[in-house]
Amino acid sequence: MDEARQAGDDGRSDALNGLDDAAPAAVESSNEPLPPSLRQRLDQSADDWVAECALRRVVAQRSARRRALPWLIAGAALLLSVVSWWPRLAEFTPGVGVTGLVHDWRVERAFERLLAAPGVERWAWGGASESGTGEFVWDPRVQRGYLRLRGFVPNDPSRAQYQFWIFDAARDERYPVDGGVFDVPAGRSEVIVPVHASRHVSRVAAFSVTVEQPGGAVVSARDKVVAFARGGT
């Protein structure tokens, strides 16, 4: 029995030794170069796969740009419309104070356009105001106008504001038409102020600038008149 066991162990040892001898041979055989035709096919497959991936990426990018193009066009059109209409909205928007707009380039451009319009009435005064000189431009057709003031004393909006008044020849002079309040910032020798008449003006007989409490007055006490001039005929 021991001899049979010994014979079995010797058989297993020979088998293991045979595996050990075969392993280097397998490794050596795995290092053999691929046939040129097979390597060429593998390289071509790899190149085709890379090209296909790149093509898919380009197609996806173009598709995304095509989907986004209508939105980009719509956004650009909206931006252009806002840019073109904003000066008009900012110049004559009821209820919007003119603080911050008196030196805005949009107001200056609109003032120059109004000066060149036909039928515009224009009055200037000088030396009659303790605060400086000025000019009033009024378009009776559209009931819009501007003040151009020079040398006015800067005001503190939290304490007092300037207010413009239009005396209408068709109304009681005790109740001139409110033309709006405005501020003169420090460091400005000239300001241009949009005039927003609170009522229709039939014919300008005179106009004045008063100093009022912040927000202006419904009816001015006229205890602080800083400018006054007669209108046209």
The tens digit of pLDDT for each residue in 55-77 reads 777 667 777 766 666 766 777 76
pLDDT band at 52 (very low <50, low <70, confident <90, very high): confident
pLDDT band at 90 (very low <50, low <70, confident <90, very high): very low
Residue-averaged pLDDT of the chain: 75
Separate counts of helices (H) and strands (E) for the chain: 3, 8
How far apart CA 2 and CA 228 sit, in angstroms, is 138
Q: What percent of the chain stands above pLDDT 70?
A: 59
Output the pLDDT for position 81. 57
The whole-model pTM stands at: 0.55
Task: Give the helix, strand, coil percentages of the chain, each rounded to 5.
Answer: 40, 25, 35
Output the pLDDT for position 37. 72
Output the pLDDT for position 95. 38
Q: Is 82 exposed, middle or buried (0-12, 13-18, 19+ CB in 10 A)?
A: exposed
List, for residues 160-176, the tens digit of each pLDDT value: 999 999 999 999 999 99
Average pLDDT over residues 73-82: 66
| Alpha-carbon distance values, 205 to 128, 133, 219, 230 (Å) | 17, 19, 18, 6
Q: Is the pLDDT of residue 26 over 70?
A: no
Greatest extent of the chain over all pairs of C-alpha atoms, in Å: 146
Average pLDDT over residues 119-146: 84
Q: Is the pLDDT of residue 4 over 60?
A: no
201 three-class SS:
coil
Tell me the domain boundaries of the chain.
Answer: 2-72, 105-230
Output the pLDDT for position 124. 85
List, for residues 178-228, the tens digit of each pLDDT value: 999 999 998 888 899 999 899 999 999 999 999 999 999 998 888 888 888
Helix (H) or strand (E) holding 39: helix 36-91
- Per-residue buried b or exposed e for 153-165, using 16+ beta carbons within 10 Å of the residue's own CB: eebebeebbbbbb
Output the pLDDT for position 46. 66
The token pair that represents 51 in the structure block = 């090209």
- Which has the higher per-residue pLDDT, 132 or 47? 132
Average pLDDT over residues 123-128: 73
